[in-house]
Structure 1
Amino acid sequence: MDEPIVSLMKPEFTDDPICAYARLREKAPLVRVGYPGGPASWLITRNGEVKAALSDPRLVTNYGNVPGHQGPSVADLMVATLDMPEEFRDFLAANMMLQDGEYHARLRRLVTPAFTARRIKALRPRIEEISARLLDALAKKGSGDLIEEYSSPLTGTVICELIGIEEADQPQVRKWMNDYADAGADLAASARGMLEYLQKLIERRRAEPADDMISMLVQASDEDGDRLSESEIISLVLVVVNNGHHSTAHFIPNALLALFDNPDQLALLRARPDALPHAMDELMRIANPVPTAGQRYATEDLEFAGVPIRKGEALTGSFLSANYDPRVFPEPERCDVERVVKRGEGHLSFGAGPHYCIGATLANLEGEIALDHLLLQRDSLEVTVSRDDLKYTEATPGGARLLSALPVRL
């Protein structure tokens, strides 16, 4: 008898997602789910099983790597469904997020030096400077949208500077970056503009290297002298833009609301600001704007969490469900900024396994600085609308549900 399919389009999954996913989690570690017009897949609901899936070599991110696969590639489908320029196909095909095995390991090996703990730590003074400047401008106005006027330009500017986008070009590049998450934007035009800009920037950095990510990628080589192609460099930059900008820009307002909802925890941090770095794990657990991992595809008939999975079937890990799993987090709905979890366990907001987020250290640092500046160094910030009046946009059915705006007064 086939497993009944749960529709994630039901209102309960947007009205009260924590409780809705808790019911699925207690029902089973794997639940059959579906969306209108799309094939059913398996949703992984428990922390341990999500973590295991993200490290299981039998599950791949690129279904083109499923033995016997025939049909369009992931790049082909993205070009068609997103109406992307044809010239974008090579960059989509080189997307590190959609690669497996040695090719993925090679790309990651060559980009990781740009994200070492030492390099990220050295960014603190500059991130603090950008944050202070944005907050000063917002304070002079007296009120505004925290996302549009603070968190988005903060993370966008940091990513631009990390990549090596010249200051005069940053407003246009940040617009292209923001268009990626704007359902009403002309994505094809933005993608083409970003592509042409990056091609010219790579050419300039080949001639005159600087201390930035583009220059590092242009010069990067492994022990065999293997270098990245232009398509691979552009693809890596786009991965950093899309994963390092939008997610942190929306984590900041989510975390701020979480602390306002838990005034005892905010009071604790204000009394002990040195506790903020530790608190970031708990805030990342409950305020993560990315609800699911990318799909994994079974490369063979297998059994996972006691469930038979057929070759080619898709499995998706629910970060939202995993981060509230009481097997790992006692009283998971309680915000506890002093929470300590067992070694080797914890939130999965940055993923796990070979695809663990290379920008995790940067995201933590940006979030920590932002919350320190917004809530610990000042106590005057107020949200000027009720929670019921907050509006959200959903990028895809069952996907990221992002705040459209957060009106505040300083």
Structure 2
Amino acid sequence: MTEPIVSLTNPEFTDDPICAYARLREQSPLVRIGFPGGPRVWLVTRNEDVKAALSDPRLVVDYSNVPGHQGPSVADQMVAALDLPDEFRPYVAANMMLKDGKEHARQRRLVTPAFTVRRMKALRPRVEEISAQLLDALAAKGSGDLIEEYSSPLTGTVICELIGIDQADQPQVRKWMNEYTDPTADLATSAQNMVGYIKDLIERRRAEPTQDMISSLVQTTDDNGDRLSDTEIISMALLVVNNGHHSTSHFIPNAVLALFDNPDQLALLRARPEALPHAIHELMRIANPVPTAGPRYATEDMEFAGIPIRKGDALTGSYLSANYDPRVFAEPEACDLERVLERGHSHLSYGAGPHYCPGAALAGIEAEVALEHLLLQRDTLEVTVGRDALRYTEATPGGARLLDALPVRL
């Protein structure tokens, strides 16, 4: 196999990632990358090509769907990488985001009723209530960590209530949720506790359904009478915890920093608060904490973006690179809350194609409420440390880069 052109562990990708990815993007639409001791993959660098990769039926998320494949499945690799007991393999294997074709379409069809835009919009008053309570508590203290004391409990509580976690149990469940991204935590124990809780919740909601996600998933059937298994429901709850909580809780502080870095845009938003829903898309473009899509595997020898790809090769799209592609975004490094794109063009922070994020509507609502409450309803929020004092944890090389804390004063 050809040696990788570049390693994402190089300091340039943490010191100045926008510039580093711009160099790769102009070098080639696909760049061979590698990680120490890990596989070599193709990094897709340009917006339209990333979008195409996420929709191309020749590229699959489940490696076992590659004809003649050898080696462990994606689920097996994830269980091994996270050091989880074998008992978790069925929940990883049932993950909707690791399904292709008819299997994915079936599960998505049964999950969709729990995530309709109408259902998500109905949550907004409760999101606003939770946000106001958290900000009142933070204001009473005068200062604190915006992530630990606001954005994480905001999104964590919303996800708990969406799933159907009883209020008395939410502090413990949020603790398990936060341990998913804590490298010092015992992830296996947290995951076991979470699975056990959801199993019990499924039984209770089957007996006495309410208006929450678990109740919806338990009750939903399609025209053929098909329904989700308990394993699939547990897997979906874990997916919502991982993708729905952490990404938005870290987007919020990133967006605050982006607006403070662009005071003219913050002033524009304060003068025209009705522009906030549109502005969220620009902030999602530049402040998304998730830099890459999950890998796709070529099911045949093929040409992609003009580059020969071998059957079994892995491709991963760079959201960060795609969201700064000048072919789609004029002056991509500028934060322009009034940016208007040509039809068919968009940021890719929610993905694209069959695996487009089902929780995008909820993420947008949480982001709108947070920024309205933090920056539009008040003008006293201050970050109390310099940018050079901020520290980040990178989950994996080239993976999610999460801010450790954002000290603020109200």
Output the CA distance in 2 between the equivalents of 1:161 and 1:6.
Answer: 43
Amino acid at match of 2:297: Y
Output the CA distance in 1 between the equivalents of 2:62 and 2:130.
Answer: 38
Verify the 8 A CA contact 1:5 1:40 in the aligned structure 2: no
Verify the 8 A CA contact 2:4 2:40 in the aligned structure 1: no
Partner deviation per Cα, 1:201-222 (whole Å, 9 max, x = no partner): 0011111111110011111111
Output the CA distance in 2 between the equivalents of 1:307 and 1:3.
Answer: 16
* Mapping for residues 365-404 of structure 1, pairs under 5 Å: 365-404=365-404
Amino acid at match of 2:315: L
Q: How many positions carry a matched residue from both structures?
A: 410
RMSD over aligned CA atoms reads 1.0
1:24 aligns with 2:24: yes
Describe the shift of the 1:2–1:86 C-alpha distance in structure 2 as closer, same or farther (beyond 3 A). Answer: closer
Output the CA distance in 1 between the equivalents of 2:74 and 2:331.
Answer: 40
Output the CA distance in 2 between the equivalents of 1:397 and 1:18.
Answer: 16
Q: Find the counterpart in structure 2 of residue 314 from structure 1.
A: 314
Moved over 3 A (4+): 1-4
Amino acid at match of 2:206: R
Output the CA distance in 2 between the equivalents of 1:344 and 1:252.
Answer: 26
1:65 aligns with 2:76: no
Output the CA distance in 1 between the equivalents of 2:61 and 2:322.
Answer: 19
Output the CA distance in 2 between the equivalents of 1:50 and 1:75.
Answer: 23
TM-score (norm. length: structure 1): 0.99
Output the CA distance in 1 between the equivalents of 2:33 and 2:275.
Answer: 40
Q: Find the counterpart in structure 2 of residue 215 from structure 1.
A: 215
* Mapping for residues 6-17 of structure 1, pairs under 5 Å: 6-17=6-17
Output the CA distance in 2 between the equivalents of 1:2 and 1:242.
Answer: 34
1:264 aligns with 2:256: no
Q: CA deviation at 1:112?
A: 0.9
Q: Find the counterpart in structure 2 of residue 133 from structure 1.
A: 133
1:277 aligns with 2:285: no
Query: Secondary structure of 2:54's partner?
Result: helix
Output the CA distance in 2 between the equivalents of 1:3 and 1:280.
Answer: 40
Output the CA distance in 2 between the equivalents of 1:216 and 1:361.
Answer: 18
Output the CA distance in 1 between the equivalents of 2:80 and 2:120.
Answer: 37
* Mapping for residues 91-130 of structure 1, pairs under 5 Å: 91-130=91-130
Q: CA deviation at 1:4?
A: 5.1
Amino acid at match of 1:192: Q
Query: Secondary structure of 1:137's partner?
Result: helix
Verify the 8 A CA contact 2:4 2:34 in the aligned structure 1: no
Verify the 8 A CA contact 1:85 1:192 in the aligned structure 2: no
Partner deviation per Cα, 1:104-161 (whole Å, 9 max, x = no partner): 1111111111111111111111100000000000000000000000000000000100
Q: CA deviation at 1:82?
A: 1.5
Q: CA deviation at 1:80?
A: 2.4
Long gaps (5+) in structure 2: none
Amino acid at match of 1:339: R
Output the CA distance in 2 between the equivalents of 1:282 and 1:75.
Answer: 34
Q: Find the counterpart in structure 2 of residue 176 from structure 1.
A: 176
Q: Find the counterpart in structure 2 of residue 323 from structure 1.
A: 323
Output the CA distance in 2 between the equivalents of 1:73 and 1:329.
Answer: 37
Describe the shift of the 1:4–1:91 C-alpha distance in structure 2 as closer, same or farther (beyond 3 A). Answer: closer
Partner deviation per Cα, 1:279-330 (whole Å, 9 max, x = no partner): 0110000000000000000000000000000000000100000000000000
- Provide the identity percentage: 79
Q: Find the counterpart in structure 2 of residue 294 from structure 1.
A: 294
1:352 aligns with 2:349: no
* Mapping for residues 108-257 of structure 1, pairs under 5 Å: 108-257=108-257
Verify the 8 A CA contact 1:60 1:298 in the aligned structure 2: yes
Describe the shift of the 1:4–1:171 C-alpha distance in structure 2 as closer, same or farther (beyond 3 A). Answer: closer
Query: Secondary structure of 1:36's partner?
Result: coil
Q: CA deviation at 1:188?
A: 0.3
Amino acid at match of 1:243: N
Output the CA distance in 2 between the equivalents of 1:197 and 1:365.
Answer: 27
Partner deviation per Cα, 1:62-121 (whole Å, 9 max, x = no partner): 111111113332222222231212221111110011110111111111111111111111
Output the CA distance in 2 between the equivalents of 1:4 and 1:153.
Answer: 41
* Mapping for residues 82-97 of structure 1, pairs under 5 Å: 82-97=82-97
